[in-house]
């Protein structure tokens, strides 16, 4: 990460699919031919293009996890859009990056909800504010999304108050509509957030999630890549779902001696650092198809915040039979390696620098990546 450390995900945060099977599953989507669908779900071929995952939608340009953000990402060429999923009080999956509502909605300005301000410990971290699991879906629908990084993405604040919090079902329907409109398949890459926490408060997510996926014609056929920083939920989903041709499981990891939340809750000792060793990745390949580290695990930064030599991560993962999808590229100078920054200011958008940085990582052989700006990601991939 660059000068200002802002967590990119939840931490403060093999088998390859056969092309014929994928084509058979996705070719049934109206208007989508085999040649259009195979590239959506397969890589590890050095000649193939890496997949572009829209991180919380086009979150560099619209408030995250809104239909507007997903729409912009799709228009800009994303292969997949990402809804992070949490659970409401009445058991509905909705898209928020975490259970905490304070930074991404206008809840703090709503006097009718003032009494719901509280403190919680989620994934080992203490938070104070308002939380999704204290609201019904109907109540959440009265809130409006706001820009999280308001001092960096100032232009996005113009959209504050315009958009609702979408449910997972609404997102599936929206992506299906976009796919039909644009005559191309669009994948969905949902992340189950804080599964252990939600189970502890009587809101287990996994069966609800599977039921929602299988209830919709589009998500039964389109590419689906299910992510989690936890391990037990992915293992459960593997048993529950099997290995359908259109679905993959993605183990999210970080680079340090942090333990997954479910491992900690169960009294285990396995750390992410152990999970991303060659032996650890072979273990991941027993239940998942993809391993997903932060960018700097692939190419670290030196003390001067410039890129060092790539690590062996990609080769190790491929040797284990895992795809490598990395997170997350952001287009502002503050998030770029020093090699690619310009002199426009630390919070300024730097499109050329962002494309150059992404291309440098593509050269390592990654199979896909998450980007806050799908247009820049597409430019990097297509060039």
Pair type for strands 187-188 and 125-129: unpaired
Quote the Cα angle for 323-324-327, to 5°: 145
Q: How far apart are CA 29 and CA 25, in angstroms?
A: 8
Q: In the structure encoding, which two tokens stand for residue 290, read together?
A: 């993809």
Residue 76: closest CA among 93, 53, 42? 53
Q: Is residue 30 pLDDT above 50, yes or no?
A: no
Instruction: Kindly list the domain boundaries of the chain, sorted by start residue.
Output: 19-98+164-382
Quote the Cα angle for 196-193-174, to 5°: 140
Q: How far apart are CA 227 and CA 233, in angstroms?
A: 10
Question: 50-88 pLDDT, tens per residue?
Answer: 999 999 999 999 999 999 999 999 999 999 999 999 999
Look at residue 57 in the predicted model and tell me its pLDDT. 98
Q: Is residue 24 pLDDT above 50, yes or no?
A: no
Q: What value does the mean pLDDT of the chain take?
A: 90
Alpha helices in 204-299 (DSSP H): 206-215, 217-221, 232-241, 261-265, 272-275, 278-284, 295-298
Look at residue 21 in the predicted model and tell me its pLDDT. 31
Q: Is residue 12 pLDDT above 70, yes or no?
A: no
Q: Is residue 232 pLDDT above 70, yes or no?
A: yes
Assign domain 19-98+164-382 to its CATH architecture: Alpha-Beta Barrel (3.20)
Look at residue 48 in the predicted model and tell me its pLDDT. 84
Q: How far apart are CA 310 and CA 364, in angstroms?
A: 7
For residue 130, name the pLDDT band (cuts at 50, 70, 90).
very high
Residue 96: closest CA among 144, 64, 122, 128? 64
- What's the average model confidence in pLDDT over 217-245? 97
Q: How far apart are CA 280 and CA 9, in angstroms?
A: 21
For residue 46, name the pLDDT band (cuts at 50, 70, 90).
low
Look at residue 214 in the predicted model and tell me its pLDDT. 96
Residue 366: closest CA among 327, 321, 320, 314? 314
- What's the average model confidence in pLDDT over 285-303? 98
Question: 194-216 pLDDT, tens per residue?
Answer: 999 999 999 999 999 999 999 99
Residue 120, strand partner residues: 127
Question: 240-260 pLDDT, tens per residue?
Answer: 999 999 999 999 999 889 999
Quote the Cα angle for 262-264-270, to 5°: 95
Look at residue 44 in the predicted model and tell me its pLDDT. 53
- What's the average model confidence in pLDDT over 147-156? 97
Question: 161-182 pLDDT, tens per residue?
Answer: 999 999 999 999 999 999 999 9
**114 CB-contact burial (10 Å; exposed 0-12 / middle 13-18 / buried 19+):** exposed
pTM for this entry: 0.89
Task: Provide the 10 A C-beta neighbour count for residue 103.
Answer: 16
Q: How far apart are CA 168 and CA 81, in angstroms?
A: 12
Q: How far apart are CA 171 and CA 66, in angstroms?
A: 9
- What's the average model confidence in pLDDT over 221-233? 98
Instruction: Provide, rounded to the nearest whole percent, the portion of the chain with pLDDT above 70.
Output: 88
Look at residue 337 in the predicted model and tell me its pLDDT. 98
């Amino acid at each position: 990460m660059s000068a200002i450390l802002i967590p990119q995900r939840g931490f403060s945060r093999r088998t390859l699919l056969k092309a014929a099977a994928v084509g058979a599953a996705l070719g049934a989507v109206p208007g989508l031919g085999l040649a259009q669908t195979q590239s959506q779900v397969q890589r590890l071929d050095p000649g193939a293009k890496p997949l572009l995952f829209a991180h919380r939608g086009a979150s560099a340009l619209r408030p995250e996890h809104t239909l507007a953000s997903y729409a912009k990402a799709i228009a800009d060429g994303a292969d997949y859009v990402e809804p992070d999923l949490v659970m409401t009080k009445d058991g509905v999956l909705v898209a928020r990056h975490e259970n905490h509502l304070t930074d991404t909605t206008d809840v703090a300005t709503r006097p009718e909800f003032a009494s719901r301000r509280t403190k919680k410990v989620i994934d080992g971290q203490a938070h104070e504010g308002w939380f999704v699991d204290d609201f019904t879906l109907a109540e959440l629908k009265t809130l409006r999304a706001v820009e999280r990084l308001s001092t960096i993405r100032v232009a996005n604040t113009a959209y504050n108050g315009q958009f609702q919090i979408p449910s997972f079902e609404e997102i599936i329907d929206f992506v299906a509509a976009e796919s039909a409109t644009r005559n191309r398949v669009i994948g969905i890459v949902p992340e189950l957030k804080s599964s252990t926490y939600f189970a502890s408060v009587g809101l287990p997510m996994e069966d609800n999630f599977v039921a929602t996926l299988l209830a919709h014609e589009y998500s039964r056929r389109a590419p689906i890549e299910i992510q989690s920083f936890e391990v037990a939920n992915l293992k459960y989903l593997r048993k529950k779902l099997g290995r359908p041709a259109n679905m993959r499981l993605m183990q999210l990891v970080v680079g340090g001696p942090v333990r997954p939340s479910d491992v900690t809750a169960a009294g285990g000792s396995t750390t992410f650092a152990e999970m991303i060793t060659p032996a650890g990745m072979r273990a991941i390949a027993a239940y998942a198809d993809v391993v997903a580290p932060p960018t700097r695990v692939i190419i670290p930064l030196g003390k001067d915040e410039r890129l060092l030599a790539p690590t062996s991560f990609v080769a190790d993962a491929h040797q284990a039979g895992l795809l490598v999808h990395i997170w997350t590229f952001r287009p502002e100078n503050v998030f770029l390696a020093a090699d690619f920054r310009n002199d426009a200011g630390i919070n300024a958008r730097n499109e050329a620098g962002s494309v150059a940085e992404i291309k440098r990582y593509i050269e390592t052989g990654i199979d896909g990546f998450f980007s806050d700006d799908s247009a820049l990601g597409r430019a990097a991939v297509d060039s």
